[in-house]
Amino acid sequence: MWDSTVGKKAVMAVSGLIMLLYLVAHMIGNLKVFFGPQEFNAYGHWIRTVGEPFMHYTWTLWIIRVVLVAAVVAHATAAYQLSRRDIAARPAKYVHARRRASYATRTMRWGGVILGLFVVWHILDLTTGHVHAGGFQEGHPYQNVVDSFSTWYGNVIYIVAMLALGLHIRHGFWAAAQTLGAGGRSRDRALKGVANLLALLLTAGFVAVPVGVMTQVVS
Amino acid sequence: MKLTLRVWRQRNAADDGAMSTYEVDGITPDMSFLEMLDTLNEKLILEGEDPVAFDHDCREGICGACSLVIDGDAHGPERTTTCQLHMRSFRDGDVIDVEPWRAAAFPVIKDLVVDRSAFDRIVQAGGYITAPTGTAPEAHATPVPKPDADHAFEHAECIGCGACVAACPNGAAMLFTSAKVNHLNVLPQGAPERETRVLDMVEAMDAEGFGGCTLAGECATVCPKGIPLSSITDMNREWLRATVKGARR
Ligand code: HEM
Ligand code: SF4
Ligand code: FES
């Protein structure tokens, strides 16, 4: 698998789809912030208790975290190795250059780097609190979210990353279907439609939270 | 028609190369692009200069030898081979840039001629069937469903020109390789080597230093034979199927 460009791309597609699945759940969960601190904080607590009494407290959450870290590492490693190979395979540029591929397609690499940096910042901000603005309170996610989006840079970083995410999914979802052999001429329009819809819903859903804080709907 | 050509000139593989500017006159709209270059070369020879080297053979769009990037498009502005491109696609006074295929796996030999033997090695890795040689077999002995025959024919159209590699931002040979794999994998004659074919050909493709696919779609846009992008999807499916079946390794 890993030795072949086709296999490595398949690893990338599967890890990308795992992250995508998580992001859909994450986005829906975030929207609970619009129903007040009690409901949002209860949701934050529930994530830690899912699966009880079969699972111990936070076990399910840790399993999800391990799977996600594995997906991010596999995805980024494959992206790095394949990109280096792609650049080496086309050393000379054309004097008369043409650019036809869509913006989303051309920004997969830099957009991916932005997303990777964002993931690190996001965890240090709202999970561990290391870069959090104004006293991070473990177990009080509602207050933490409001604090984060009360700074201008918190909003800028978040919104730029979510626009990058939308573009990445727009090309990535459709591309993953092709990589896994699930695409085809008859399904092409449907797949592109679903990719656009997912990109739009995720970006809009995630961006709604900082916009909510900025407009004081969430405070 | 009078034209200004900016042509890539490179003495040999080791030379750096650069664009050179030439004027050509007396071009008619019904000339092919290659005939226009012939006119330029006649002039260069009379002037005692080295003529521009370029690949060509059949000049009727079936051999895949001709290979020029014209104004940044592999095979030029029309969706056909360079030999089937006519000067009526240009206008009097145009400035036209002519460059060779660009890819690490296709090194320039001289001027506009590149070495495409990497394609031959990909085909040698599995682009054939183990059929008994001798007289042609009875045509009805192996029935082929019509949709499969159509699918095979569509992919058999690939002439191995390499425009797909030239257009790809990653110098990938996925469209070419997928055309060759799908052509045989869909037919009963190709069935015995269905798994090893795709595994071996993809491995050979990687070994030649071609890039990977990022689904930019440039290849299918320039392919003179209309090999579709979905051909790559089909090959990915064949490759995953063969890998899951553990056909080798
Ligand atoms: C945050 C969540 C992320 C999701 C949901 C995601 C999703 C995807 C998907 C589904 C693909 C398509 C795979 C294919 O073409 O078969 C893809 C491609 C790619 N991703 Fe990501 N990705 C994410 C993060 C990243 C990160 C952090 C990086 C950078 C290290 C990255 C870099 C890339 C690159 C370079 C491609 C290949 C683009 C191409 O096909 O041209 N992605 N991504
Ligand atoms: S797939 Fe098309 S562009 Fe590529 S080698 Fe075959 S005919 Fe040429
Ligand atoms: S010279 Fe044979 S295809 Fe153009």
> Mean pLDDT, chain A, as a whole number?
94
Q: What is the mean pLDDT of residues A157-180?
A: 97
Q: Which residues contact B127 (CB under 8 A, 6 or more apart)?
A: B180, B181, B184, B197, B201
Among A50-59, A71-80, A115-124, which is the least confidently predicted range?
A50-59
In this structure, of A15-29, B82-96, B216-230, B234-248, the range with the lowest mean pLDDT score is B234-248
Strand runs labelled E in B54-126: 69-70, 73-74, 95-99, 108-110, 113-114
- CB atoms under 10 Å from CB of A60, counted, come to 17
Q: Which fold has domain B3-110?
A: Ubiquitin-like (UB roll) (3.10.20)
Taking 90 as the threshold, does the pLDDT of residue A99 lie above it?
no
Closest approach of chain A CAs to the CA of B141, in angstroms?
31
- Tell me what pLDDT residue B103 has: 97
Residue B248 pLDDT greater than 70, yes or no: no
B209 vs chain A: nearest CA distance in angstroms?
6
Q: What is the mean pLDDT of residues A25-33?
A: 96
Mean pLDDT of B128-150: 87
Percent of chain A at pLDDT > 70 equals 100
Span B61-89, average pLDDT: 97
The pLDDT tens digits of the residues spanning B92-106 come to: 999 999 999 999 999
Cβ–Cβ below 8 Å for A9 and B212: yes
Q: Is the pLDDT of residue B249 over 60?
A: no
- What pLDDT was estimated at residue B191? 93
pLDDT for the residue numbered A185: 85
Given a cut of 80, is residue B247 above it in pLDDT?
Answer: no
| Fold of domain B116-244 | Fumarate Reductase Iron-sulfur Protein; Chain B, domain 2 (1.10.1060)
Kindly state whether A90 is in contact with chain B, defined as any CB-CB distance less than 8 angstroms. yes
Across the range A33-40, mean pLDDT stands at 94
ipTM of the complex: 0.92
Question: Hey, where are the domains in chain B?
Answer: 3-110, 116-244
- Rounded to an integer, what distance in angstroms lies between the CA atom of residue A59 and that of residue A48? 7
Q: Is residue B134 very low, low, confident or very high in pLDDT (cuts 50, 70, 90)?
A: confident
pTM of structure? 0.93
Q: Which of A105, A106, A183 sits opposite B233 (nearest CB)?
A: A183
Average pLDDT over residues B195-210: 97
Does the beta-carbon distance from A90 to B228 stay under 8 Å? no
Contact check, Cβ <8 Å, A180/B236: yes
Which residue bears the tokens 């394609």? B119
What is the reported pLDDT for B136? 81
The percent of residues in chain A predicted with pLDDT above 90, rounded, is 89
B1 alpha carbon – ligand 2 mean position (Å): 31
Measured CA distances, B224 to A217, B212, B219 (Å): 57, 21, 10
For chain A, which domains are there? 5-90+102-214 (1.20.1300.10)
Chain B residue closest to A183 (CA)? B233
List, in sequence order, every beta strand (DSSP E) within B44-134. Answer: 69-70, 73-74, 95-99, 108-110, 113-114
